[in-house]
Amino acid sequence: MDALETKAGLSRDVDDLMQAFEAFKETNDRRLSEIERRGAEDGLTAEKLNRIEKTMDALALKQARVPLGGKEPASVSELAHKSAFEGYVRRGETGNLATLEQKALSVGVDADGGFLVPKETERAVNMALKTVSPIRAIAGVRQVSGSMYKVPFATSGAATGWVGETAVRPQTNTPTLAELSFPTMELYAMPAATQAIIDDAAIDIDSWLAEEVRTAFAQQEGTAFVTGDGVNKPKGFLTYPTVANSAWTWGSLGFVTSGAAGAFPATNQADKLIDLVYAVKGTYRANGTFVMNRSTLGAVRKMKDADGSYIWQPSGDAAQPSRLLGYPVAEAEEMPNIGADSLAIAFGDFASGYLIVDRVGIRVLRDPYSLKPYVLFYTTKRVGGGVRDFDAIKFLKFSV
């Protein structure tokens, strides 16, 4: 498919999404009118609305799948590594690969065994993870060569003040620093293939391996970044202590309440989302993103502002996400549903507030013995994560 065909396909997808949204608004308006007249919605109308929502979800997901392109030319050493790695995967040859990695000042075989995949394969996996994993797409990401990333963070700045030209300068207080640690934890996948498939020269081994592991990695990462307990996995932002935003202190994440137990209030529902947006300071709000699951997004998508306009708007650009109150929305299925005391909606600058730490290098250990006639490829990468700025992310808590 050439560039013109790709552009035409994206344009059709955008047009289909906009048409589906118009049908959604018309059907939802009919549903609201039925509730006002009869006190209940018509089953056929509700069913039609549900079908339209599924269509919109599918179109939005299709838009999010940005094609990968623009590959950088590989160097001679990268081509040699790629060739040696293919020999290892297909036939179990290790000599050339071990020599190449030692020359590159890398450890050929670590305590767990295995060899580093070529840089091109690692880039393909990481790019695919960013596309599939909603939190990785909006969070800050750092690459490290060690097993731990430590960073000092100023929780309060140095004291300053105004003085006269010849007045005595009083000593100012020093800033308060907190050292944040982000250990990297091992994430693994174990795709399998028959030797006959591996021997097939028409199969691109790098692409096959990247395709096999990226979904497994993305699913595990997506859960850990939201709900991970920090034990042998990253710590998710939902597992940190939370306090009312009016009493916020460093080390906790603030929340505002919905005003109703386990639900939005009966009237002025959109006002609660506006309260959430403005609970975040302006320096973070400019880069803010809503995070919620599909069920919550379905409820929010039906809301209108005081002028009767829908507060959720589909994207008119295939490269841009849909928007809520003018801010992008990241759909993370690991977020809780709306319920009593649930933190079902998050908003903030996740690039500043949540940090993902990737240790450089993805390793593969070839195992032709454990599950004959299949060859297993034990693939590992090390990932860490956690909140680094507790003032950048806020929640909407569904309570009085």
- Residue with the bigger pLDDT between 282 and 110: it is 282
In a domain, 367, yes or no: yes
> What backbone torsions phi and psi does residue 171 show, to the nearest 5 degrees?
-70, 135
**How do residues 78-108 score in pLDDT, each as one tens digit?**
777 777 777 777 777 777 666 656 554 444 4
- Residue with the bigger pLDDT between 158 and 60: it is 60
- What does the mean pLDDT of the chain come to? 82
b/e map 70-103, b = 16+ CB within 10 Å: eeeeeeeeeebbbebbbbbbbeeeeeebbebbee
Q: Are residues 24 and 92 in the same domain?
A: no
Q: For position 77, what pLDDT does the model report?
A: 67
- How far apart CA 57 and CA 389 sit, in angstroms, is 32
State the pLDDT confidence band at 68, using cuts at 50, 70 and 90. very low
The residue segments making up the domain with residue 11 are 3-62
Q: Give the DSSP H or E segment for 51.
A: helix 43-64
Q: Are residues 41 and 121 in the same domain?
A: no
Least confident of 54-63, 219-228, 263-272: 54-63
CB 347: neighbour CB atoms within 10 A?
A: 27
One-letter identity of residue 390: F
Q: Are residues 256 and 366 in the same domain?
A: yes
Q: For position 110, what pLDDT does the model report?
A: 47
- Residue with the bigger pLDDT between 334 and 87: it is 334
Whether the predicted pLDDT of 65 surpasses 60? no
- Beta carbons of 393 and 202 less than 8 angstroms apart: no
Mean pLDDT of 59-64: 64
Q: Are residues 34 and 88 in the same domain?
A: no
Q: For position 55, what pLDDT does the model report?
A: 79
Tokens, residue 355: 């940090």
In a domain, 346, yes or no: yes
Whether the predicted pLDDT of 284 surpasses 70? yes
Q: Are residues 97 and 199 in the same domain?
A: no
Q: What is the pTM of this model?
A: 0.76
- Beta carbons of 27 and 43 less than 8 angstroms apart: no
Four-CA torsion 268, 270, 273, 279, nearest 10 degrees: -50
pLDDT above 70 coverage of the chain, percent? 82
Cβ neighbours of residue 338 closer than 8 Å, sequence gap 6 or more: 262, 263, 264, 295, 296, 299, 344, 398
- Beta carbons of 21 and 56 less than 8 angstroms apart: yes
**How do residues 357-399 score in pLDDT, each as one tens digit?**
998 888 888 888 888 888 888 888 999 999 999 999 999 999 9
In a domain, 98, yes or no: yes
Q: Are residues 56 and 105 in the same domain?
A: no
- How far apart CA 368 and CA 224 sit, in angstroms, is 31
Q: For position 92, what pLDDT does the model report?
A: 74
Q: For position 8, what pLDDT does the model report?
A: 58
In a domain, 373, yes or no: yes
Four-CA torsion 198, 204, 206, 212, nearest 10 degrees: -70
Q: How far is CA 207 from the centre of its chain?
A: 22
Q: For position 111, what pLDDT does the model report?
A: 47
**How do residues 123-166 score in pLDDT, each as one tens digit?**
778 777 877 788 999 999 998 888 888 887 776 655 666 777 77
Least confident of 2-6, 20-24, 161-165, 214-218: 2-6
Q: Are residues 260 and 318 in the same domain?
A: yes
Q: Are residues 105 and 216 in the same domain?
A: no
Q: Are residues 7 and 88 in the same domain?
A: no
Residue that has been written with the tokens 């001679």 in this structure:
76
- How far apart CA 260 and CA 266 sit, in angstroms, is 8
State the pLDDT confidence band at 329, using cuts at 50, 70 and 90. very high
Tell me the three state secondary structure of residue 128. helix
Whether the predicted pLDDT of 194 surpasses 70? yes
Tell me the three state secondary structure of residue 254. strand
- Residue with the bigger pLDDT between 19 and 221: it is 221
In a domain, 162, yes or no: no
The total of structural domains in the chain comes to 3
Q: For position 173, what pLDDT does the model report?
A: 67
In a domain, 170, yes or no: no
Q: Are residues 52 and 143 in the same domain?
A: no
Beta bridge partners of 245: none
State the pLDDT confidence band at 338, using cuts at 50, 70 and 90. very high
In a domain, 169, yes or no: no
Q: For position 273, what pLDDT does the model report?
A: 95
Q: Are residues 81 and 228 in the same domain?
A: no
Here the CATH number for the domain that contains residue 195 is 3.30.2320.10
In a domain, 67, yes or no: no
pLDDT above 90 coverage of the chain, percent? 34
Q: For position 67, what pLDDT does the model report?
A: 46
Q: Are residues 93 and 123 in the same domain?
A: no
